Structure 1
């Protein structure tokens, strides 16, 4: 009879699971990705929090499952989108609104700025270059 092993619980949300816990989780799931159910053997894999930490999950062994790196990226994006949706719904429920953009009359333009804008809108023709800008152009013209 196997000796019962106490469940690993991380001290912080940032704490990584030690190798012995990674191995236990991998064996518990029979070496299959918990998202696509394909075998992981010979491929890079990570531990995923089934209930994401940002969505209220805990950093403990029972909330961890092995996943392929690509599957993990997709699930993480979905978790972040879910968090944003929940946050937006909560913000609307609490009637929290963004600060409105400042409105009002613009400062009057100076004569110099008005003249600069007038000249720019006239679309003056660009004068031809009198001398070559680069050495290469000088040798091609000769």
Structure 2
């Protein structure tokens, strides 16, 4: 009887660890990614958050795969391009409080894939610092 109970607890523990590892891997994927064929563009907020903060300069990277960085145009409030190196456009975003109508920064991107103009946009939440 005790052996059956130990087996059930062991299996329950394995199930819990398996489910927990699945949820952790999902957190590491980005909500701000565009993919088309072998080309992709991803916005990464360097501090690891999935949101920006009002009145605070935050480093962001736009990582390009199979997209010429010279064709990339970025449009949005408070975005400053710092450098472009190794397929990564490093930027800083600083949105003033009360500048936007909603607490979402709409970032519009235009670039070329195989000579064809492509557009996408990311809607990044902005929070007030607590």
**TM-score normalised to the size of structure 1?**
0.19
More helix as a share of residues: 1
Q: TM-score, normalised by structure 2?
A: 0.20
Return the structure number with greater relative CO, CA threshold 8 A, min gap 6: 2
